Chains A and B, each alone.
Chain A
Amino acid sequence: MDLFELLHYAFLQNALSASCAVAACAAVIGYFLIGRGLTFAGHALPNIGFAGAAGAVFFGIAPVLGLFAFTIGAAIVFAFLGKEVHERDLGIGVVMTFCLGLGLFFLALYSGYAERVYGILFGTILGISDTEVHLTLISSLVTLVGIAAIYRPLLFSSAGTESAAARGVPIRFLAVAFLVLTAATVSLAVQVTGSLLVFTLLVGPAATARTFSRRPSAAIGLAVLLAEAYVVVGILLAAITKTLPVSFFVASLSFGVYVPSRLLQKRKTWKR
């Protein structure tokens, strides 16, 4: 089928606009997740969201509401798990596995179509509705504005908690605010890539961008561009092939760009 012809379809337009909004948020959030050593939380949140979505399906409400409730709740818990990385990650792991178990519990009780659950795990972006697109666009905008509002103190506290605290930066508030924004982004990104593959959009572009630039603004800008490219190309490829899923392409692109850029960076440091 002609690519140009494809773009006239409403489902594809919906998929593209929602994905582009989500990709921008995910890339920005991902940059800070890496900087704050919170990538494990970035992996855990979508899995926790899965339980919320499965619960929502079981109770017959919109999965995205369950996603928001569970991920934001977990994010607040994470923010209070302390800054000792080992201790915090243990806590995150325990919460995550409990939630996965809970998700399984809801699934076992649920007797409807398994397709909806499959969609949560691997993404349903090509089947996204108009209302969901609007919700996604508004939530993405709120997330981006939120990050912009806390940009400098967030960066400062990521780079030196003690110095930042001495200058009056509200460390705890920022930790909570940032993780709540992360939870919102994860909930949105689950639609695109599914909860199993959120990491690829959340951390992949930011990790690649970080190998190219040390300047936060440049790295974030590059991460956003990469994330947009991944979702657009991924959706178009999926639409063209018709049978292959979007998340497969997004994950493959993310991986395929990260590996060479990482290898290039290694060589650069070697030369020094």
Chain B
Amino acid sequence: MRRRIIKIKLMIQCLIDKYYSGKYSPLIKRGRMSQKNDAGEACISMTQVSIRLGDTTIQRNMNFQLAHGEFVAILGPNGAGESTLLKVLLGFLRPSEGEVRVLGETPKTGNKLIGYMPQFQTLDSINTLRARDIVGFGLDGHRWGFGLPSRKREKKLDEALEEVDALSFPKASLDEVSGGERQRLLLAQALISDPRLLLLDEPMASLDISHSQEIISLVARVCRARKITVLLVTHDVNPLLPHIDQVLYLANGQSALGRPDEVITSEVLSRLYGSRVEVVNALGRRFVAGVEI
């Protein structure tokens, strides 16, 4: 019964999204993105998608569509599949069922129209490289051979550093800059290839409140200025509330997409978790309280 209600809600949401994506697409087309294949198609569309990791099913029957240019926060308890969902969108992982379309295509790694900022970098040798070189990886790090310095490349790097306000420390290495500056540089690396979709995996994970705010407003600014879709995984939606268009809440193998005030409610979250969850509004912030969270 509960599942059916969520399904109906999702279907309605899909219809709303389709309406919006249709409505906004001419606007988007006029912008910097004039790709053929997204004249009418959503940026991301999931149809009956199930995601399995080993033996555990992380998401069942995901159905949603995201229009271009939206800023979406992905929320949920640890292990609900936020990072895994990003991996599916990147083409690292195939869904066990259903169809995923990203920018009009089946996800495949190496798509330069998708910018990605992982939560952890496995190797720490990145810490000793210069800011400029790290950002440069986003431009041509995937190309074979070694690149020769060119004025055009330098100019692009300057622009990318400027966009994230990092022009003052182009030669600093990551172990010399603050956590916020580090995240800004990695963001610049993800943005320099001119992506249409930006996937950020907990960019505020190790930052204090003021640095989190800084990253969020930077991401919001870039999202609006470039009219790109942003999916940002986070555990605290509050600092994002003034900026985001939608929330994708994942929990207990289920998902719900909608405006924050539609999704982060006691009713919807209780259904997702399958147990009683209370959303408390206090001081203009939302707090989720429940038995098993």
Contact = CB atoms under 8 A, between A and B. Distances in A.
A36 B125 contact: yes
Q: Which of A151, A152, A160, A217 has the most CB of B within 10 A?
A: A160
Nearest to B125: A35
B121 interface: yes
A272 interface: yes
Given A152-B140, A152-B144, A168-B111, 16 more contacts: A35-B125, A37-B123, A152-B143, A153-B141, A153-B143, A156-B142, A159-B125, A159-B134, A163-B121, A164-B142, A166-B110, A167-B141, A167-B193, A214-B171, A215-B133, A216-B133
Among all A-B residue pairs, the 3 with the closest Cβ atoms? A168-B110, A156-B141, A162-B118
A128 B133 CA distance: 41
A210 interface: yes
A163 B137 contact: yes
A153 B109 contact: no
A152 B171 CA distance: 19
A99 B134 CA distance: 39
A158 B137 CA distance: 11
Contact of A168 (B130, B133, B140, B142): B142
A162 B202 CA distance: 14
Interface residues of B, number: 39
Nearest to A211: B128
28 contacts: A36-B125, A37-B123, A37-B125, A149-B144, A152-B141, A152-B144, A153-B144, A155-B137, A156-B141, A159-B121, A159-B137, A160-B118, A160-B121, A160-B123, A165-B92, A165-B109, A166-B90, A166-B110, A167-B109, A167-B110, A167-B116, A167-B142, A168-B111, A169-B110, A169-B141, A210-B128, A214-B128, A272-B176
A34 interface: yes
User: For the complex, would chain A's binding face be called helix, strand, loop or mixed by DSSP majority?
Assistant: helix
B13 interface: no
Interface string A126-160: 00000000000000000000001111110110111
A261 interface: no
Nearest to B130: A214
B93 to A, nearest CB: 12
B270 to A, nearest CB: 34
A148 B117 contact: no
B146 A163 contact: no
Given A152-B146, A152-B147, A167 B123 contact: no
Interface string B150-191: 000000000000000000000101001000000000100110
A272 B121 CA distance: 26
Contact of B120 (A162, A165, A215): A162
Interface of A: 34-37, 83, 148-153, 155-156, 158-169, 210, 214-217, 272
Contacts of B34: none
Nearest to B172: A214
B201 to A, nearest CB: 9
B225 interface: no
Contact of A214 (B111, B124, B140, B173): B173
B145 A148 contact: yes
Nearest to A37: B123
A101 B121 CA distance: 37
A216 B109 contact: no
A149 B142 CA distance: 12
B293 interface: no
Given A162-B118, A167-B110, A216-B129, A155 B142 contact: no
Contacts of B111: 168
Given A167-B112, A214-B130, A216-B129, A162 B122 contact: yes
